[in-house]
Chains A and B, each alone.
Chain A
Amino acid sequence: MDENCTNLWQKLSAALKPQVSADTFKRWFSAVELVDATEGSLTFRVPNNIYQFWIESNHMAALQAAIVTAFGGPREVNFLSPSELADDTAAADATRVEEDKSDSGRGARPTGSALGLNPRNTFESFVVGPNNEIAHAASLAVAQSPAKTYNPLFVYGGVGLGKTHLMQAIGQFVLAKKKNTRVMYLSSELFINEFIDAIQHSNLVKFRKRYRQADLLLIDDIQFLGGKERSQEEFFHTFNTLFDGHKQIVLSSDRPASEISNLEHRLVSRFEWGLTAELQPPDAETRMAILRKKARTMQIKLRDEVLEFLANRIRTNVRRLEGALMRVASFASLSGKELTNEVVEHLLKDILQEEARHSITIEQIQRRVAEHFDVRIADMTSKRRPANIAFPRQVAMYLSRELTKASLNEIGDAFGGRDHGTVLHACKLVKKRMKEQDALRQTISFIDSSLKR
Chain B
Amino acid sequence: MKFSVTKEKLLEGLQQVQNVVSTRTTLPILSNVLLQANGNEVHLTTTDLDVGVRGSFEAEVEKEGATTLPARRLFTIVRELPSSEIQFDVDGRNAASIRSGQSFFKILGLPEEEFPPLPKFEDAKVVTIRQKDLRDGLRKTAYAISTDETRYVLNGVLFSFKENKLTLVATDGRRLAMVDLELEFPRSHEADIIVPTKAVTELQRLLMDDGEVKVSVGNGQIAFDLNRTLLVSKLIEGNYPNYRQVIPSETKERVTLERETFLNSLRRVSLLASEKSNSIKLNFSKNNIEITANTPEVGEAKESLAVTYKGREFSIAFNPEFLMAPLRNLTEDEVFLDLIDEMSPGVLKIQTPFLYVLMPMRISS
Contacts and interface: CB of A to CB of B under 8 A. Distances in A.
Interface of A: 20-21, 23-24, 27, 48-51, 53-54, 56-58, 61, 83, 86-87, 90-91, 93-94, 98, 100-101, 103, 106-107, 197, 206
Contacts of A51: 245
Given A49-B153, A50-B246, A24 B343 contact: yes
Interface stretch (B101-109, B233-241, B293-301): B233-241
Interface stretch (B70-78, B121-129, B144-152, B223-231): B144-152
A48 B343 contact: no
Contacts of A98: 234
A206 B151 contact: no
Nearest to B175: A57
B222 interface: no
B49 A100 contact: yes
A106 B153 CA distance: 10
Interface residues of B, number: 31
A24 B173 contact: no
Nearest to A21: B343
A54 B173 contact: yes
Contacts of B174: 57-58
B344 interface: yes
Per CB-CB distance, the 7 closest pairs between chain A and chain B, nearest first, are: A50-B241, A57-B173, A21-B343, A87-B238, A94-B237, A53-B173, A90-B237
A57 B359 contact: yes
A100 B152 CA distance: 15
Contacts of A61: 362
A61 B277 CA distance: 14
Chain A CB within 10 A, most for which of B50, B171, B243, B343: B343
B344 A21 contact: yes
A144 B238 CA distance: 35
Contacts of A54: 173, 245-246
A91 B245 contact: no
Contacts of A93: 237
B242 interface: yes
A91 B237 contact: yes
Contact of A53 (B26, B154, B340, B343): B154
Contacts of A23: 248, 340, 344
B179 to A, nearest CB: 19
Given A23-B248, A48-B242, A56 B150 contact: no
Contacts of B362: 61
Interface in B113-163: 149-154
Given A24-B344, A57-B174, A90 B238 contact: yes
B241 A48 contact: yes
